[in-house]
Structure formats: C-alpha cells, structure tokens
Amino acid sequence: MVTLEQDKSTYINSMFGRIAKSYDFLNAVMTLNMHKLWKRDAINKASVNMPYLKKAKILDLCTGTGDMAFMWAEKPQVAKVMAIDSCLPMLERAERRQIKSKATNADKITFMEADALQLPFQDNNFDAITVGFGLRNVKDLDLALSEIHRVLKPEGFIASLDLGHPESGFVDSFYRGVFLKLMPLLGQVLAGDQAAYKYLIDSLETWPKQKDLSQMFWDKGFTRSYYKNIMFGTTAIVVAQK
Ligand SMILES: C[S@@+](CC[C@H](N)C(=O)[O-])C[C@H]1O[C@@H](n2cnc3c(N)ncnc32)[C@H](O)[C@@H]1O
C-alpha cells in the first residue's frame, strides 16, 4: 500500500475508495448532520451573483457523493453543474443518487472523473465554484488555487468549506485533545477503517489556518477574500471573488 508520505494523490484516492460506501453515514454521525447546513451556507456565499445570472454554470470540485452538486441543481438560475472527483467509487455513489433522484433538476449535473490539479476546462468558464472538505486533500494546494482562478469567470465566487483551526487556545486544546482523538475510533466502529479517520487528524498538521487560506486567495490574484468560522473555527468557509 502506498503511504501518505510516498504519494498523497494515490493514498487519498485509495482511502476514499475504501470508505465510499460508509462516507455519507459517517459524515452525518460526525457532524450530527450539520454538514448539510454548512454546505448550503457555502453555496449561498458563492451565489452572490446569482440574481444577475440566467443560465449559470457551476463547478463543484472534489464532489464526493455529490451533496453540493445536488444543492446547486435546486437553484432555478443554475443551468449546468459540473461535479468532478478523482475517486471513482465516490462518483459511482453520486451517480447512483442521481439515477434514484426524483427531482428533475438533478439532470443538470454531470459527474466526471477529473483531477482538481489539472481541470479539463477552458479559462473563465464557471460563474461559481464550490469545494467541500476537498482542498485539504489535494497534493498541491497552490496549484489547485491556480486552477480555480483560471476556470472561474471574472467576478465569480469560490467558496471552500473545510476543517479549520480554532482561534481560541482553550477550544483548540479540547478539539485536538478530546474530539479529534475520537475520530479514528468512530471510523473503526462505524466504517471499519481506523486509518482513514486518523488521516483526518494528520491532514490538519499541514492545512493552513482559515485566515492564511484566505490570504492565499488574495495572493493568487482574487480581488477579495474573507472567511467565516463555524463551530468555534473547527470548520470554516473561505470565500474569494475573482
Ligand atoms: C472529504 S471528501 C468530500 C466530498 C464532498 N465534497 C463532501 O463535502 O461531502 C473529499 C473528496 O475529494 C476528492 N479528491 C481528493 N483529491 C482530489 C483531486 N486532486 N481531484 C479531485 N478530487 C479529489 C476525494 O476523492 C473525495 O471524494
């Protein structure tokens, strides 16, 4: 088995392949289903231009089982949602959801296997981009931000929802010392995969603070960026406009 240190992309791909079946269930348990509210919040923050658009084209990066893609498709101003992921078992689950969906607007979504670091789209293509719990997993964050900047239309918004770093030392100690320590245990009990949920903790070591990620968007050439803390900063939405 390839280790995280040897090749992050291969490691991440096989890890999400292993947990694809239980991913939605674990997400619901670990966040008490609040992840859906946070995802809608991120989508609303990336939708600021929507009232002025008639046939908006959206990109959902690292779509996984497609939660955010389905939420985008509900919006009447949205004509097309491209939802990409590099892990086939996750995409298969998203496509199964689409087939089962009774909502006709689910037809607006195209699920596609693609790498966030090499997007198969032309420049200035999308009115808005979202990424849920995805950027933390890419091998090269700087390259991912360049690709987002390239394919987003001028004035378009990107919103990234992901884990964050609590700003209060007390909350951070509790979060790392107690809450995060439970994750591998929950992963073992509910998904039979302790390693995958230990990775969640390890991934925070190199993941920038929300304020620093926001600064990275500025540095990439976005015209504005800000962040919003959720649950004391254990999760955060970072927004930027091109
Ligand atoms: C934690 S899941 C998030 C899924 C979904 N966005 C959600 O919030 O429920 C992260 C997803 O990112 C995908 N991913 C990781 N690296 C990627 C890359 N370089 N390109 C495309 N997808 C990637 C994984 O396959 C996985 O499905």
Atom of ligand 1 nearest to the CA of 13: 25
Atom of ligand 1 nearest to the CA of 161: 8
pLDDT tens for 102-157 read 877 999 999 999 999 999 999 999 999 999 999 999 999 999 999 999 999 999 99
pLDDT of 1 reads: 65
Instruction: Report which residue type is found at 55.
Output: K
Cβ of residue 160 lying under 6 Å from some atom of ligand 1: no
pLDDT at 214: 98
Q: Probe ligand 1: pick from 38, 137, 201, max atoms within 8 Å of CB?
A: 137
Mind listing the domains of the chain with CATH numbers? 8-241 (3.40.50.150)
The span from the CA of 57 to the CA of 46, in Å, is 12
Tell me, using a 6 A CB cutoff, whether residue 156 lines ligand 1.
no
pLDDT in 10s for each residue of the chain, 242 residues: 667 767 888 989 999 999 999 999 989 988 999 999 999 999 999 999 988 888 999 999 999 999 999 999 999 999 999 999 999 999 999 999 999 998 779 999 999 999 999 999 999 999 999 999 999 999 999 999 999 999 999 999 999 999 999 999 889 898 888 888 888 888 888 878 888 888 888 899 899 999 999 999 999 999 999 999 999 999 999 999 99
Q: Give the pLDDT of residue 5.
A: 66
Other beta carbons within 10 Å of 145: 22
Most ligand 1 atoms within 8 A of CB, residue of 7, 41, 84, 86 to mutate:
86
pLDDT of residue 202: 87
Q: What's the pLDDT score for residue 54?
A: 85
Q: Is the distance from the beta carbon of residue 236 to the nearest atom of ligand 1 less than 6 Å?
A: no
Distance CA 110, CA 91 (A): 10
Q: Give, in order, the Cα–Cα distances in Å from 97 to each of 29, 85, 94, 107, 159.
A: 20, 15, 5, 11, 24
Reduce the DSSP state of residue 107 to 3 states and report it.
Answer: helix
- Per-residue DSSP letters for 143-191? HHHHHHHHHEEEEEEEEEEEE---SSHHHHHHIIIIIHHHHHHHIIIII
Tell which atom from ligand 1 comes closest to the C-alpha of 144: 19
